[in-house]
Amino acid sequence: MLSNLLKWPQLQVVGEACDGREAVLKSQQLQPDLILLDIGLPKMNGIETARQIRRQSPNVRILFCTENHSPDIAEAALRTGAKGYVVKSDAARDLFPAMTAVLDGRRFVSPRFAGLEFARTSDTSSVSEKGHVVHFYTDDIVLLDGIATLFAGSLADGKSVAAILTSSHRSGLERRLLAQGVDVSKATQNGRLSILDADHELSEFMEPAGPSRERFLLKFGNMLRALQTAAVAKRSGVVVFGEMVAVLWAQQSYDAAIRIEELWNELALTCSFHLYCAYPANAFRDEVTLVPYAEICAQHSEVVSALEAIAVPHG
């Protein structure tokens, strides 16, 4: 039952509705911060309910939580302006981080829709110049295909790109870039492409107590500025993909991973870049990682389920 999952000290349930019409009425009366909606509501389905609620309260935050697995239904639900879509059978893992994301104005889509691209609604902003997106992936091949497509398109648009990868992923990315027609050697020599080893980069700034703020900011600040200088499209920023946090997560260094996410956000205050982080979804299957999982989501501007669902804006 969802009611059992909503017993968190920081949450207060202010009302419940038995059908869609009652949900519209109560949302107007109670003006809650967040509304959880099912799809299969009596009298009026959840999608129409969401539309009517948003007509009267355009800024309300809506999160769908339903057992409906249809991608078309999820697409239609998100087109109402709802910020999230969680499948009920995944709620024990996903509901809390989804609610946290939606309350912060970010988007959350159930990871079971990995590989599907859901169109953005008109009131949902595109990835910003300083976007920080997290992906929970289930397939390494899909992940690498997505990174290669993202990087090839970004390089073609005149951007510079950097990947900080595990050793098992580095060669796979290079092969895919070559297959997509990217001259990896030339792009590396002219400073527009940087492919780094995650373990080596961690060794440069990790201390027994955690990441060194000063060394992290200096190292990656210099990297980003060099990439920006080398970019052909000078005003379009830099695209970065990173797995250092996934390496730390696999080592159960949860606090260190979250701290690195915070440091990337701090770096975004002085450097313009799009950052994409990735974690294997199977690293978040037990209760031990539930709270850290929510904290990871809270560090990002968007939570999505697969890299290929992201399109870097042109310009």
Structural domains counted in the chain: 2
Domain that holds residue 296: 132-309
Prediction pTM value = 0.61
Of 66, 82, 112, the residue that ends a domain is: 112
At 134, give phi and psi (nearest 5°): -115, 140
d(CA 275, CA 252): 22
In a domain, 12, yes or no: yes
Say whether both 167 and 106 belong to one domain.
Answer: no
d(CA 55, CA 43): 18
Indicate which CATH number applies to the domain containing 267. 3.40.50.300
Say whether both 301 and 171 belong to one domain.
Answer: yes
The pLDDT assigned to 184 comes to 95
Say whether both 137 and 107 belong to one domain.
Answer: no
What pLDDT digit, counting tens, does each position of 147-198 carry? Answer: 999 899 899 889 999 999 998 899 999 999 999 999 999 999 999 999 999 9
In a domain, 173, yes or no: yes
Indicate which CATH number applies to the domain containing 14. 3.40.50.2300
Say whether both 104 and 221 belong to one domain.
Answer: no
In a domain, 118, yes or no: no
In a domain, 117, yes or no: no
In a domain, 253, yes or no: yes
Say whether both 96 and 157 belong to one domain.
Answer: no
What pLDDT digit, counting tens, does each position of 272-291 carry? Answer: 899 999 998 887 766 545 66
Say whether both 92 and 150 belong to one domain.
Answer: no
Say whether both 9 and 86 belong to one domain.
Answer: yes
Say whether both 305 and 273 belong to one domain.
Answer: yes
Say whether both 154 and 299 belong to one domain.
Answer: yes
In a domain, 296, yes or no: yes
Say whether both 7 and 73 belong to one domain.
Answer: yes
d(CA 135, CA 192): 24
Q: What is the mean pLDDT of residues 256-266?
A: 93
At 157, give phi and psi (nearest 5°): -85, 0
Beta strands across the sheet bearing 273-280:
34-37, 61-66, 84-87, 108-109, 302-304, 132-137, 273-280, 238-242, 160-165, 193-197
In a domain, 84, yes or no: yes
What pLDDT digit, counting tens, does each position of 47-89 carry? Answer: 889 989 988 888 889 999 988 888 878 888 888 889 889 988 8
In a domain, 124, yes or no: no
